[in-house]
């Protein structure tokens, strides 16, 4: 007779492997955020005093890194819920997923509005008079 996975400890091994993977994915997300912050800070300091165009470039740099980091963090949340799916954990995952997806959507929209099809940074100046 074939032993069950719980008899040989396979479930515990898989659970621990997924938790290690979750930790690695969270760490990658944090490293991406850190790298984006450093690069954006470097571009900000290098272009000081900030002109409108260089400020938009700094914002785009940081937004790109934040968008990919949000994907990694959401992946880590999905991994943690996959190994321990309680209704409470699923509800928290749903709330976090909605918030992170909304943030990612607005970051992507902001990046698309700032970059023109030619790939040059667009400077929008309000011409409304009162």
pLDDT for 22 beyond 80: yes
Q: Is 29 helix (H, G, I), strand (E, B) or coil?
A: helix
Q: How far, in Å, CA of 6 to CA of 21, rounded?
A: 21
* SS3 sequence of 41-110: HHHHHHCCCCCHHHHHHHHHHHHHHHHHHHHHHHHHHHHHHHHCCCHHHHHHHHHHHHHHHHHHHHHHHH
Token representation of residue 115: 């970059």
- pLDDT in the model for residue 109: 83
- Report the predicted TM-score, pTM, of the whole model to 2 decimal places: 0.73
The model's pLDDT over 42-87, given as tens digits with 9 standing for 90+, comes to 988 887 776 766 778 888 889 889 989 988 998 998 888 888 788 8
Q: Which residue has the higher pLDDT, 37 or 11?
A: 37
- pLDDT in the model for residue 21: 96
Q: How large is the average pLDDT for residues 98-120?
A: 75
CA distances (Å), 3 to each of 11, 77, 78, 83, in order?
A: 13, 32, 30, 21
Return the domain boundaries, the chain. Answer: 10-114
Q: How far, in Å, CA of 113 to CA of 98, rounded?
A: 22
Q: Which residue has the higher pLDDT, 52 or 118?
A: 52
């Amino acid at each position: 007779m074939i032993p069950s996975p719980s008899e040989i400890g396979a479930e515990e091994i898989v659970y621990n492997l997924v938790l290690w993977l979750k930790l690695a994915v969270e760490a990658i997300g944090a490293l991406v955020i850190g790298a984006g912050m450093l690069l954006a800070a470097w571009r900000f300091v290098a272009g000081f005093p900030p002109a409108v165009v260089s400020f938009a470039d700094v914002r785009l740099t940081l937004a790109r890194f934040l968008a990919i980091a949000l994907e990694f963090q959401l992946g880590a949340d999905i991994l943690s819920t996959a190994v321990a799916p309680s209704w409470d954990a699923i509800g928290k995952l749903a709330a976090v997923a909605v918030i992170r997806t909304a943030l990612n959507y607005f970051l992507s929209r902001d990046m698309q509005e700032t970059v023109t099809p030619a790939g040059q940074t667009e400077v929008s100046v309000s011409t409304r008079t009162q």
